[in-house]
Amino acid sequence: MCGRFDQHTLPYRYAGYLGAMVQATADEAAPRYNVAPRTRAWVARHARSGGRELVALWWGLVPFWTDDPQRAARPINARSEDVTRRPMFRNLIATRRCLIPVDGFYEWRTTPSGRHPHYVRLAENAPMLLAGLWDRWRHGDAPALESFTILTTQANELVAPVHDRMPAIIAASDAGTWLEGREAAGIQSMLKPFPAEEMIAYPVSRRVNAARNEGADLIERMDAEGLPG
C-alpha cells in the first residue's frame, strides 16, 4: 500500500519535469515531507483545455456519484488488479488517470520493537511518478471536490521485506501514454512492480508516524535503533 509520501520538491519543478502548467497558491507551494491522507497533494493530469496541468487534489477518492463526501469511504489506495472490475474505478481507469509526482514514499516494517518506517526513492534521485486515478464530486450548489487515489501493485524485491504491496510507479518515458493513451492493454501493462535495482530503501525516524511532523530530517537515514545512520 502507500499511506504516506514526500513532496518536498517545488511544484514548479514537478511541473517542468512533466511538461505541465502548475496551478498553485503560495501556501500550496511549501515543501512537504510527510503527506498524509485527507490532505491535498500535487497531481498531474490531462487538462480539459489541452496539455497537462499540475493541481492540488485531496488524497482519498470521493466518487462523483456519492451522496455525502463526509460519509464516503474515500480510499487512498486501489489495487491495480481490481480497477477494471470495481465500479468505483472502472470508468476512471479509462478516462481519469493521473500521476502523483513524489520524491519518495514511506512503508512500515514490523519489528520486535514495533513498526519502523522506511523511505523508498529512486536511486537516481529523480521524481517518482505514482499511478493514480482522480474524480470530481459536485452536487447542487456545493463547491466541487476533486480527489485522487494511488494504484498499488505487488512489491518488488526491494520493498517486499517491508511490505507486500507498493505503489505502481510509471517510468518517466511512459508518462505520456499513461496520461493520454487510449489503448487499454498498454495502459494496464504499466501497472507492475518497478525494477528494484532502480530504487533505494532505508529506515528513517519514527517521527514520520505522526502526520503533524514535518521537515527534511524525516527522510534522513537511521539505523535499526532509530539513530542517524
Q: What is the mean pLDDT of the chain?
A: 91
Q: What is the pLDDT of residues 23-43, one digit of tens each?
A: 866 567 789 999 999 999 999
CA angle centred on 135, ends 176 and 17, rounded to 5°: 30
Count how many domains the chain has.
1
Is the full-model pTM beyond 0.75? yes
Domain encompassing residue 52:
4-104+126-155+163-194
Q: Is residue 200 situated within a structural domain? A: no
Q: Could you tell me the pLDDT band of residue 217, with boundaries at 50, 70 and 90?
A: very high
Question: Does 229 score more than 50 pLDDT?
Answer: no
Q: Is residue 210 situated within a structural domain? A: no
Residue-level pLDDT at 225? 54
CATH of the domain at 179: 3.90.1680.10
Q: Is residue 52 situated within a structural domain? A: yes
Question: Does 226 score more than 60 pLDDT?
Answer: no
Torsion of Cα atoms, 135 then 180 then 24 then 172, to 10°: 120
Task: Please give the average per-residue pLDDT across 148-176, as a whole number.
Answer: 96
Residues 6+ apart with CB under 8 A from 23: 53, 54, 55, 56
Please answer whether residues 165 and 127 qualify as being in contact, where contact means their C-beta atoms are separated by less than 8 angstroms.
Answer: no
Q: Is residue 220 situated within a structural domain? A: no
Share of the chain above pLDDT 70, in %: 95
Q: What is the pLDDT of residues 68-78, one digit of tens each?
A: 777 778 899 99
Query: d(Cα 92, Cα 40) in Å, to the nearest integer?
Result: 19
Residue-level pLDDT at 153? 97
Greatest CA separation for the chain: 54
Q: Is residue 211 situated within a structural domain? A: no
Query: d(Cα 160, Cα 195) in Å, to the nearest integer?
Result: 12
Share of the chain above pLDDT 90, in %: 72
Q: Is residue 32 situated within a structural domain? A: yes
Q: What is the pLDDT of residues 119-159, one digit of tens each?
A: 999 999 999 999 999 999 988 777 889 999 999 999 999 99
The better pLDDT of the pair 130, 64 is held by: 130
Q: Is residue 120 situated within a structural domain? A: no
Lowest mean pLDDT among 15-29, 55-69, 192-206: 15-29
Question: Does 228 score more than 70 pLDDT?
Answer: no
93-97 long-range contacts (CB < 8 A, ≥24 apart) are 93/133, 93/187, 93/188, 94/184, 96/45, 96/133, 96/134, 96/135, 97/45, 97/131, 97/132, 97/133, 97/134, 97/178, 97/179, 97/187
Catalogue the active-site residues: 2, 107
The SS3 assignment for 186 reads helix
What is the grid cell recorded at 137? 464530486
Query: d(Cα 72, Cα 142) in Å, to the nearest integer?
Result: 16
Question: Does 195 score more than 60 pLDDT?
Answer: yes
The SS3 assignment for 142 reads coil
Residue-level pLDDT at 80? 95
CA angle centred on 89, ends 42 and 23, rounded to 5°: 20
